[in-house]
Structure 1
Amino acid sequence: MSLTPRTPQYRSGRAEEGYTQDELREMHGEYPEDDPQSSAAPLLSAGSPRTDEPKGGKAMAATAASKLPIVFLSFVAGFIFFLTVVEYRRPGTLEWYLGIPIPSFEQMPASTGNHDDLNSSLIISYENYTSFPLSTHDYLVECYKMHPGGFMPSTRFWEPTAAGLMDVVHGEDKDVCSSTITYMLDGKIGLVADLALMAQAAALARERNRTFFIDDTYWNRGKWLDHFQDVRETQPGPEPGCKQPPPQEYVACPRHARHWIITSRTAKFHFGQMYYEHYENGYAQNTNRLKPIYDFAAGSLRNTIIPNIENARLISSARAEVAVLSSMYLSVHLRRGDRKPSSYAYHGGYVPTNDFVDALDDAARRLQRGDHPSLVYLASDSPTALEEISTLLPSVYSLSRSANAELKSLVSPGEYFQRDFDKYDLETRIRATRGMIVDFALLSGAWNEAGPDAVVCTVSSAVCKLSAVALGWEKAFGHLDKYGLIDRQLMSWVDVDQKGRIIPEWAAFDLFN
């Protein structure tokens, strides 16, 4: 004998039994007339007229109506709580939706040099400092004071919080640029890692119509003009000839300050997730989403960050030597030292040299239509790695193999460890920086129409990231499909670290703690 569960659905559908009178009364809220424990009508208070009307629709409607105020108040309380959470997590959102204008730095009243015309609670004070500009460490401390979480919350990237604009007090010199973005160098990260961040900062200055500056006060690689052209000439900005602001007016956080300064240490407050959300293409997928940020970097590398006459001459000499050997070449960058691969497959070690050779052979077959590359330009911070890969390739060129003594002197003094770089004397550091600039130009084709047919590198390295920018979008990635996936047949940017295991495969820059 099978059993059927007694569910409400089963009970309501049993056609073979029907319902008893008692069940019908129970369903309608009625009780048998002979039940002494029940009543067909509700209990009445003394003096109330008796009614025999059964409990029905009118009574239920009255009950529901009596609860409406409670429901309404609960809804209002929940809505207010929701608004509170939104305002706490994304300050300024409510003002934006309600159409309440949030002031920008352009709307700030001109300062008279004292605090009388500014809200004292919004003034950033540097009274504990005696020298300016502050060090990159001090700017980091100031950012953490304002944003302990390590990022700058805001409704949108360029909108200040609802609390208002925070800034230092400004002077009255009318010749000072009205608004600026300054990138500060200190050499606490590698050269190309700095250039990748600087490229975004310069692009923001162009986009926001601000004047762009470089501050090299604490740079351990000499002066900016020792290596590159003056950015006031390559990117003069909206007020050509205006004066650089006094260093005591630089502000690292918030970014809405009139004279915003960015360093590799404070970049994480500004170039994190909110930056991507604001500037990436939200309608595209994977690598395609990053096209606007890629274009930012490309514009800066093409028009703003340009080698000076001395370095341009060294780059030209190296290219001339390569041209004598072959009209076509591939390039490879082997980063050693303190930059380990990001893929867990190489955890604790480096990408094997044979992986670079295999990638070069594959690129030669795809792009040069040969089994082996005709010529390979080698760049590395490790003399040992250079020698090892040289023995595995038929034809190679590197600065260490140059017939030009001046070029040969630019070879890296050893594997690059950030903590050890300052141990070299200034002349050695300047020379090593020149060598990296020449290597990057030949590796990627930067600052020249001609370049390699492909670059093989590890995406964990800033040199690799920026090489993709120098190659050009279509040359680097081929014809990306609608899903933003890199074209494996036509790509010239070859990562042997992650090898396509992460999406997006390319990144514009690194952020540092």
Structure 2
Amino acid sequence: MPRPRPLTHVSNSQSVDYSSQSQLTPRTPHSRSGRAEEAYGEVEIDGVDELQEGDMRNMQNVPLLRSSASDTFPVTGYRGRGDDHRAETRRQGLTLKLIASRLPIVIGSMVAGLLLILIVVSYQKPGTLETYIGGVVTPSAASSQDSTNSTQQDHNHVDPAILISYENYTFFPLKPGEYAAECRKMVGVWMENHGYWQIPPIGVKDVIHKSGPPVCSSTITYMLGGKVGLVADLALMAQAAALAQERNRTFLVDDTYWNRGKWKDHFEDVRVTQPGPEQGCQPPPPEELVACPRLARHWIINAGTAKYHFNHGFHEQYEDPYAHNLNRDKPVFETAHESLSTTIRPNAQLKALITAARKELSDLFEESSTEYIAVHIRRGDNKASAWKYSSPGIQVPTQEFVDATSETWSRLNLSQSQISAHIASDSPAAIHEFSEALDKQWKVFSLSQSKDPNIKALASPEQYFQNNFEKLYDTEERVNLTRGIVVDLALLSGLWSDGEIKPQAVVCTIPSSICKISAIGFGWEGAFGQVNELGDIDQQGKRWVEIDEKSSIIPVWSAFNLFN
């Protein structure tokens, strides 16, 4: 490695008397040639290359070390200007800039905090914010009693903009189709633009109310119109009864146009089973009943208007929003179970027939066994849901019911010594075909096979077609067939058992309302087993066996059918 070239300018440098320097200070960043704290800026750095060579020649003309006490020691940097000068200036500048740059963040944080406080207040004390800002408090935000009082006050109005006029009608209550026509006038205007129970800003659309005490102050009436099957009505009625209880309203049933007799011919009076907040109050005049909107003081609902109320908004209001698939429907399931257990109950005469049918069914068993599987085969005007049965006239084959019955018995590990089934159908031919297709060890019971003439008379003589029901049978026959449906429903679902025998499972098809209601009789876990967090039905533990869609749809169960 070549030796470095000796310094050529040392001999020409001026003489320095090092002994005269009282103090030697090593070259530091504060010396002339090393001002680190005053580093080059972006403009200065452009001239570095041009000055570098001259600096290298000149920097050796002065001593490498110079005393900081010398008069020639440069006064540079923040130490030369005073240690506090630059720090103070920087502190002031940074403080102003910091405040200016972070002011939006501070304001945003304050706004977010305010919104959080408002959310907490609105959640814990509903209606408080509306009161302060002068807004309209929704019924759901008020207590039950306040809701009733608000209903009374808001409906005593004569504002033409929110007045429902029945001047074109002469007979009340209106027919089910006429109530549906009134609802169609309001679709998209009064019913879907607000929350399910929210009062519109303009007010509640209603008729003029002239009645007062002892008339009930607020009611929900279910109208039996005779346009759908009995169990389809019961499924909708169960939800209406639950809404009446939740809204602190009196629940009523109207059977003016029912083609199955009177409600009390089959069931207990709902004024007894669900008295409501005003026991003994009188029903409102029929001209004050309103089908839409549901906020009317005396709301009436039937199978034709249910689609305007038990629609998407209903499910958004009453399903579990944090659950998945089948689990979302659990609150609706539970309310239906409560209504069918307490409000909708067979009267004494019908309950005696149910008990007699259960006793005859139990007589088929050995003393050590009370197990049976219920099967419902719906024919007539019923249409299958699955695509493979979508062709006209195609229904779920009877053999699929037979296979599902045998498979369910084995899956649930039921007794192999006593195998029994109850078969219910609107078709006598389907009952015969099912009984013949089962293995010989099966014991089968149906109303048509009963030895009790009172029970046998309840069996359906032919396939059920809703449009022909009123044409084919007189009033007495229709009442009798309706009782038969209720007895079959009790044996299929286990409803109203009161300690009597109940089925171990039910096999049915989802389009039928009887199939939907049968699940409710088993209870949530009894019907669907241990449903997981994703809402999947327990295929191993389920006792509600649907063989049309076979759990391929979401959700696998629904509480009711809607009709046009």
Instruction: State the SS of the aligned residue for 1:209.
Output: coil
State yes or no: 1:473 paired with 2:524: yes
- Residue 161 of structure 1, CA deviation: 2.3
Q: Which residue of 2 aligns with 1:35?
A: none
Instruction: Please say if 1:356 is aligned against 2:401.
Output: yes
Q: Tell me which of 131, 136, 160 is aligned to 2:176.
A: 136
3-state SS in 2 of match to 1:301:
helix
Superposed CA deviations along residues 218-256 of structure 1, whole A, max 9, x for unmatched, are 000000000000000000001110111111000000000
3-state SS of paired residue (1:260): strand
Q: Which amino acid aligns with 1:156?
A: G
Q: CA deviation at 1:372?
A: 9.2
CA distance in 1, matches of 2:396, 2:331: 31
User: Alignment partner for residue 396 of structure 1, among 420, 444, 454?
Assistant: 444
Distance apart, 1:361 and its partner CA: 0.9
**1:454–1:492: 8 Å Cα contact kept in structure 2?**
yes
Aligned-residue Cα RMSD (Å) equals: 2.1
**How far apart, in 1, do the equivalents of 2:134 and 2:406 lie?**
59
Shift of 1:145: 1.4
The answer to whether the Cα contact below 8 Å between 1:365 and 1:372 also exists between their aligned partners in 2 is: no
Q: 2:422 aligns with which of 374, 377, 387?
A: 377
Is the Cα contact below 8 Å between 1:103 and 1:164 reproduced in 2? no
Q: How does 1:110-121 map to 2 (within 5 A)?
A: 110=153, 117-121=157-161
> d(CA) in 1 for partners of 2:432 and 2:337?
33
Distance 1:107 1:357, change over 3 A: same
Q: For the structure 1 residues 462 and 109, does the alpha-carbon distance in structure 2 shift closer, same or farther, using more than 3 Å as the test? A: closer
8 A Cα contact 1:331 1:377, kept in partner: yes
Indicate the residue corresponding to 2:219 in structure 1.
180
Secondary structure class of the residue paired with 1:376: strand
SS of the residue corresponding to residue 395 of structure 1 reads strand
Q: Note the C-alpha offset of 1:274.
A: 0.5
CA change 1:425–1:164 in 2 (3 A) is same
CA contact (8 A) 1:413 1:432 kept: no
What's the CA shift for 1:102? 4.2
**Which amino acid is the alignment partner of residue 363 of structure 2?**
V
SS in 1 for 2:374: strand
Alignment partners' CA distance in 2, 1:153 and 1:110: 23
Shift of the 265–278 alpha-carbon distance from structure 1 to 2, 3 Å rule, reads same
Of 493, 496, 499, the match for 2:544: 493
The match for 1:266 is 305
Query: TM-score, with normalisation over the residues of structure 2?
Result: 0.71
**Cα pair distance change 1:386/1:98, threshold 3 Å:** farther
Secondary structure of 1:510's partner?
coil
- For residues 293 and 99 of structure 1, the distance between their equivalents in structure 2, rounded to whole angstroms, comes to 34
SS of 2:191's partner is coil
User: 1:91-133 CA distances to partner (integer Å, 9 max, x unpaired)?
Assistant: xxx98997722465742565998xxx43121110101111100
The code of the aligned residue for 2:474 comes to D
Q: For residue 61 of structure 1, what is the aligned residue in structure 2?
A: none
Are residues 288 and 128 of structure 1, via their aligned partners in 2, closer, same or farther at CA, if it must alter by over 3 Å? same
Q: Secondary structure at the match of 1:507?
A: coil
- Paired residue type of 1:483: L
Matches within 5 A, 1:447-458: 447-448=496-497, 449=499, 450-458=501-509
Q: Are residues 1:168 and 2:207 paired? A: yes
Change in Cα spacing, 1:99 to 1:336, as seen in structure 2 (3 Å) is: farther
Match of 1:429 in 2: 478
In structure 2, the CA distance between the partners of 1:342 and 1:126, relative to structure 1 (3 Å rule), is same
Aligned AA for 2:475?
L
Taking a change above 3 Å as real, the CA distance of residues 302 and 218 of structure 1, as seen in their structure-2 partners, is same
Partner of 1:332, secondary structure, is strand
Mapped to 2, the partners of 1:108 and 1:303 lie a distance apart of 27
Q: CA deviation at 1:266?
A: 0.2
TM-score norm. by structure 1 comes to 0.78
User: Are 1:183 and 1:263, in contact at CA under 8 Å, matched by a contact in 2?
Assistant: yes
Matches within 5 A, 1:458-469: 458-469=509-520
Unaligned runs of 5+ in 1: 1-93
**How big is the shift at 1:340?**
1.1
Q: Distance in 1 between the 2:133 and 2:561 partners? A: 37
| Alpha-carbon distance in structure 2 between the residues aligned to 1:367 and 1:112 | 56
166 and 396 in structure 1: CA distance in 2 versus 1, 3 angstrom threshold: same
Partner SS state of residue 455, structure 1: strand
Say whether the 8 Å CA contact 1:459–1:506 is kept in structure 2: yes
C-alpha separation in 1, matches of 2:455 and 2:560? 28
Aligned to 1:502: 553
Alpha-carbon distance, 1:362 to partner: 1.2
When residues 123 and 381 of structure 1 are mapped into structure 2, their CA distance, relative to the original with a 3 A threshold, is same
**How many pairs were matched up?**
416
- Could you tell which deviates more after superposition, 322-331 or 364-373? 364-373
The answer to whether the 8 Å contact 2:155/2:206 transfers is no
The AA in structure 1 aligned to 2:491 is L
SS in structure 1 at match of 2:490: helix
Work out which of the residue numbers 373, 377, 384 in structure 2 matches 1:334: 377
8 Å CA contact 1:111, 1:172 repeated in 2:
no
Q: After superposition, what is the alpha-carbon deviation per residue over 1:318-370, rounded to whole angstroms, capped at 9, x for unaligned? A: 00001111211000000001111111111131101111111111110111445
List per-residue Cα deviations over 1:426-448 (Å, max 9, x = no partner).
11111110000000001111101
Paired residue for 1:293?
332
Deviation track 1:49-90 (CA, whole Å, cap 9, x = no partner) reads xxxxxxxxxxxxxxxxxxxxxxxxxxxxxxxxxxxxxxxxxx
Give the secondary structure class of the aligned counterpart of 1:387: helix
Deviation at 1:152, TM superposition (A): 2.6
Is the 2:138–2:197 Cα contact (8 Å) retained in structure 1?
A: no
Describe the superposition over 1:468-509 as per-residue Cα deviations: whole angstroms up to 9, x where unpaired.
001111110001011111111110000001001101100000
Q: Deviations over 1:189-235 (max 9, x none)?
A: 00000000000000000111100000000000000000000000000
CA distance 1:440–1:162, change in 2 (3 Å): same
Other structure's SS at 2:399 match: helix
**Structure 2 unaligned residues grouped into runs of 5+:** 1-128, 140-146
Q: Tell me the secondary structure at the aligned position of residue 422 of structure 1.
A: helix
Partner of 2:250: 211
Instruction: Flag the 1:108–1:360 CA change in 2: closer, same or farther, 3 A.
Output: closer
Change (3 A) 1:433 1:358: same
Judge conservation of contact 2:152–2:217 (CA < 8 Å) in 1: no
Alignment of 1:66-145 (within 5 A): 100-102=135-137, 104=139, 106-107=149-150, 110=153, 117-145=157-185
- For the residue of structure 2 that corresponds to 1:293, the secondary structure is helix
Query: Equivalents in 1 of 2:155, 2:187: separation in Å?
Result: 28
* Aligned match of 1:281: 320
**1:410 corresponds to:** 458
Query: Is residue 445 from structure 1 mapped to residue 445 from structure 2 by the alignment?
Result: no
Code of the residue aligned with 1:341 in structure 2: it is A
Give the letter for the 2:301 counterpart.
I
Corresponding residue for 1:66? none
Distance in 1 (CA, whole Å) between partners of 2:385 and 2:429 is 22
Compared CA separation, residues 98 and 375, structure 1 to 2 (3 A)? farther
Secondary structure at the aligned position of 2:363 is classed as helix
Matched residue type, 2:207: V
2:341 aligned partner: 302
User: Do the aligned residues in 2 keep the contact of 1:251 with 1:260 (CA within 8 Å)?
Assistant: yes
Instruction: Go from structure 1 to structure 2 and tell me whether the alpha carbon gap of 1:254 and 1:97 turns closer, same or farther (over 3 Å shift).
Output: farther
**Kindly tell me: are residues 281 and 111 of structure 1, through their superposed partners in 2, closer, same or farther at Cα, counting changes over 3 Å?**
closer
Amino acid in structure 1 at the alignment position of 2:446? S
